Structure 1
Amino acid sequence: MPTLAYVGVDVGTSSTKGVLVGPDGAILRSATRAHAVQRPAPGHVEMDARVWWDELVAIVTLLTDDLAPGAARGADVPGDLEVAALGVSGMGPCVLLADEAGEPVRPAILYGVDTRATRQIAELDAALGRDTVLDRCGSALSSQAAGPKIAWVREHEPDVWARARRLFMPASYLAFRLTGAYVLDHHSASQSTPLYDPRTHAWIDDWADLVAPGLELPALRWAGEAAGVTREPLGGVPAGTPVTTGTIDAWSEAVSVDAHRVGDLMVMYGTTTFLVATVAEPLRSETMWGTVGAYPGTHNLAGGTATSGAITSWLRELTGADYPDLLAEAAASGPGAQGLLMLPYLAGERTPVQDPHARGVVAGLTLEHTRGDLYRAALEATAFAVRHNLETMRDAGAEITRAVAVGGGTQGDLWTQIVSDVTGLPQAVPARTIGASYGAAMLAAGIAHEHGHLVDVAAWNPPVRVVEPDPALRATYDELYALYRDLYPASRAVVHALTHRTEGAPA
């Protein structure tokens, strides 16, 4: 009996990552390919989908090439290792329109960081009724929703729209290229507001005809179901290997840390911060996202910032310092960042502010402040944003009994500690926090299990530590959080006027 392995690949905002995972959950190999998004106009964030496929091919080949028949095995893998299944996931919800053959007709429009469809949101709200959409779809229309972006293409690019026949997201596009199956997972569909009904788990045909007339919507499956099997060998992955339908990266990350039971909250530290709370039944919130989960019978209330790790990257590039120095200086700065307070809305803000025209604000600057103070203020700002999301979730009825942290930001202790101190919420940190690619491999292992291979996925990634909040800092951060909440409405009119001057956004 061969030793079975699983490959997981995730397409993120700034890179594609892949892992080769052994039968006990150990990561045998990993690979990353960096990429960049395009910003062709203010508020527009796009990416060429061909990059997703090229990077998947490169990563899978790198991870598995020596597993092909007759190849000399590397010393880091067992000699009888075979890939049993391949899992995919990716950022989203994205809008990738393609022709009948699945060839993209334009670059993919990204998730809530792309804010182009403001007018289409207003028009659909007027046509369908904002409350009606919220009640039927679980989420109000916002920059996160896929539907208004489809409408934007139909209005602004009629020649492109005339060639569009299919709708993909990163995971579904990779699954299609691998297997030929035109499918989309239910969770991704539930972020395609107003096209999907999370209660009936079906497309809303009349609204789809209004928003996307003539577009053939994909067949719906759950993230852990097989899309099909590989049509051709790829590296050491043989033809006929099962491929998952896959899902959006944050939900794959929740899978990777076993945070998908009622009461669980997944906090993803990445380019953006994403939060997924698993709830017993659909909840109504005007400013959060109600979705179905990665698994059948699950429901989520989710939220996300437009930036978080992106701010730390920006500050690193701006100052020319490396991360260890900035983290050390931020730790030395101490709670409150020596009197600095930041709004982290450098690319607008998603939940619960829902303001694509918001921008970053730094209050309290003096000539004495250092880059370490700015870095500390940025970390605290993202923590305040997490608290704002948590409070909104709880106000909507979500009960949060367990939080699990995942993503690149968990590698250092400072960021997670600040979030726990600001929110008062302990966070479990699992053994492996590599994120969505690992969750994609877990979903792949589930498919292999369905084909008769026994895999104890639940034992793959246990928690190894818990970040406990410091009660001595609660009063300090309660005071600063109140000021944070005051700063946005106090500065909104000025910021909107500035945004209008530079980008033509509504003042």
Structure 2
Amino acid sequence: MGADPTGPYLLGVDIGTSSTKGVLTTPDGTVLRTATRPHGVSRPRPGWVEHDPDRVWWDEFVSVTRELLTGAPAGGVPANAVPAGAVAGVAVSGIGPCLLPTSDAGDPLRPAILYGVDTRASAEITELNQAYGAEALIARGGSPLTSQAIGPKLLWLRRHEPQVWQRTRRFMMASSLLVHRLTGEYVLDHHSASQCDPLYDLTSGSWATDLADEIAPGLRLPRLHWPTEVVGRITDAAAAQTGLAAGTPVTAGTVDAWAEAASVGATRPGDLMLMYGTTMFLVQTVDRPTRHPGLWATTGVLPGSHCLAAGMATSGAVIEWFRELTGGPDYAELTAQAAAVPAGSDGLLVLPYFAGERTPIFDDQARGVIAGLTIDHGRGHLYRALLEATAYGVRHNLTTMAEVADPARRVIAVGGGARSLWTQIVSDVTSCAQLIPEQTIGACYGDAYLAAVGVGLATTADDWTRRAGMVRPNPGATTRYDQYYQAYRELYPATRPITHRLAALATESATAR
């Protein structure tokens, strides 16, 4: 491996929407090994998006961890194995906020209900806003109630699955389930809790127990810690399953996007992480709690820090959908075709709301729109227009953030699409330069950093980021995109009544089948 086989090493594992990724690093951030397991989501009904917590979250954690320790994929011959005791600390992250109801022993009672892409609790959102007041909830929790919030989903569970609710004593997310299975501890980090609207008080930094008792009576809330805090140690049972040494420290874990921000050092006021993935996500660190009805206000990953966040419902997911729809060409071919098309895709404009939209419009009934299509447009035009659509969405979110916070001083691109034509288009549309770090592995790398801080092998002042390049906007393209962006902003309100009607008809059709 090119490193001292006795360590110390840090292990980070992230449960994403479409894959589980793990990394083994040294205390200075040098990557020794990586491992990945692809997976999908379950969509049992329109608006429902779920994960199997055992098969996806735990089994893939075990598989990835064993590969990182043995140097061999599942079923392979171990090569250059790492002694279990060489791992000095473990940290995990995962998609969130999610709702996994469990028994008092921590046993899952149903599949996990995923974050904002799962829109089943729309009626409960309306009910809670009416009961407590939308503005009052934002003032206390920092964020509006949307499909991202945990409180409405808990209320939905009470209403629609009473047999499950009767047995529910705890709730977990991907990270906290893993921490529980590794250590036996029932904890949640402050950042994840701050996305459990309206159950967390952003000002006091504690559970809003009065609201929790009314919305989810009888639910035992987890103990709160910061993501950098060690909350427990690997048990003998977990050691037998994972190959890690019993007694290894485990930190509290967090939501994947915030671990990804930590992976590139975007943790100081003025830093903004732009995550290119299945969904596009933006996290800006601010110097104080800041609220906006079109954004999420949360705590950060470092003690006492604060963030504004934005997230699109789709980005990479739509791009992959298009690739499969057009016969599965590789991305290099699609990129070459799109690069040959001028900025603006020759008059083609797309709304990327193929699964509704989160910030800043919070409309789960929004739908994708392709406008300006002619028989002269080809596959390259459509592919470029989809990339441009996500860039317009980023600009819309940045513009919204600028209404309540100073513009970001440093924008850092992360994720699978961070080194591509996509990145250049986003810079051209937004007029923002983007720093490209050397490591774009993602949240699992941030987990390793958080583990290093937790066990004292790094400090919060340390930054593992090594700069690999900078993407700067092309002024000529930016001028052209300004016109298309204005049309983009006008297209949604112009088509909203029609797309809402179509969404309702689609739901009726699916229900009737």
Name the aligned partner's letter for residue 445 of structure 1: A
Corresponding residue for residue 54 of structure 1? 59
Corresponding residue for residue 156 of structure 2? 152
1:498 is aligned to 2:506: no
The question of whether the paired residues in 2 share the 8 Å contact of 1:252 and 1:437 is answered with yes
Distance 1:211 1:14, change over 3 A: same
Corresponding residue for residue 190 of structure 2? 186
Corresponding residue for residue 113 of structure 2? 109
Following superposition, the deviation at residue 186 of structure 1 comes to: 0.4
- Report the Cα distance in structure 2 between the residues aligned to 1:187 and 1:315, rounded to whole angstroms: 34
1:380 is aligned to 2:423: no
**1:84 alignment partner, one of 84, 88, 104:** 88
Following superposition, the deviation at residue 273 of structure 1 comes to: 0.3
- Report the Cα distance in structure 2 between the residues aligned to 1:409 and 1:229, rounded to whole angstroms: 35
1:392-420 per-residue CA deviation (whole Å, 9 max, x = no partner) reads 000123431110110011132x1111001
- Report the Cα distance in structure 2 between the residues aligned to 1:198 and 1:436, rounded to whole angstroms: 24
Distance 1:398 1:108, change over 3 A: farther
1:317-346 per-residue CA deviation (whole Å, 9 max, x = no partner) reads 001211110111111112111211000000
Following superposition, the deviation at residue 461 of structure 1 comes to: 2.1
- Report the Cα distance in structure 2 between the residues aligned to 1:66 and 1:335, rounded to whole angstroms: 45
Q: TM-score, normalised by structure 2?
A: 0.94
Q: Identify which range, 244-253 or 398-407, moves more after superposition.
A: 398-407
Q: TM-score, normalised by structure 1?
A: 0.95
Following superposition, the deviation at residue 264 of structure 1 comes to: 0.7
- Report the Cα distance in structure 2 between the residues aligned to 1:220 and 1:399, rounded to whole angstroms: 31
1:122 is aligned to 2:139: no
Following superposition, the deviation at residue 66 of structure 1 comes to: 6.3
Corresponding residue for residue 219 of structure 1? 223
Any gaps of 5 or more consecutive residues in structure 2?
none
**1:245 alignment partner, one of 252, 259, 262:** 252
1:350-380 per-residue CA deviation (whole Å, 9 max, x = no partner) reads 0001000000000011112111111100000
- Report the Cα distance in structure 1 between the residues aligned to 2:101 and 2:401, rounded to whole angstroms: 33
Moved over 3 A (4+): 72-75, 77-81, 453-457
Distance 1:28 1:135, change over 3 A: same
Name the aligned partner's letter for residue 151 of structure 2: G
The question of whether the paired residues in 2 share the 8 Å contact of 1:187 and 1:294 is answered with yes
1:280-338 per-residue CA deviation (whole Å, 9 max, x = no partner) reads 11112011001111111111110000000001100110012111101111111121112
Following superposition, the deviation at residue 36 of structure 1 comes to: 1.0
**1:417 alignment partner, one of 415, 424, 437:** 424
1:294 is aligned to 2:298: no
The count of residues paired between Structure 1 and Structure 2 equals 496
Corresponding residue for residue 349 of structure 1? 357
Name the aligned partner's letter for residue 381 of structure 1: A
Following superposition, the deviation at residue 456 of structure 1 comes to: 9.2
Corresponding residue for residue 471 of structure 2? 467
The question of whether the paired residues in 1 share the 8 Å contact of 2:186 and 2:222 is answered with yes
1:21-70 per-residue CA deviation (whole Å, 9 max, x = no partner) reads 12331211111111111111111111111120000001101110369xxx
The question of whether the paired residues in 1 share the 8 Å contact of 2:428 and 2:475 is answered with yes
Distance 1:80 1:487, change over 3 A: closer
Name the aligned partner's letter for residue 477 of structure 1: Y
Following superposition, the deviation at residue 448 of structure 1 comes to: 2.2
Following superposition, the deviation at residue 462 of structure 1 comes to: 1.8
- Report the Cα distance in structure 1 between the residues aligned to 2:194 and 2:458, rounded to whole angstroms: 31
Corresponding residue for residue 409 of structure 2? 401
Following superposition, the deviation at residue 347 of structure 1 comes to: 0.2
1:365 is aligned to 2:369: no
Corresponding residue for residue 335 of structure 1? 343
The question of whether the paired residues in 2 share the 8 Å contact of 1:23 and 1:455 is answered with no
SS of structure 2 residue aligned to 1:379 = helix
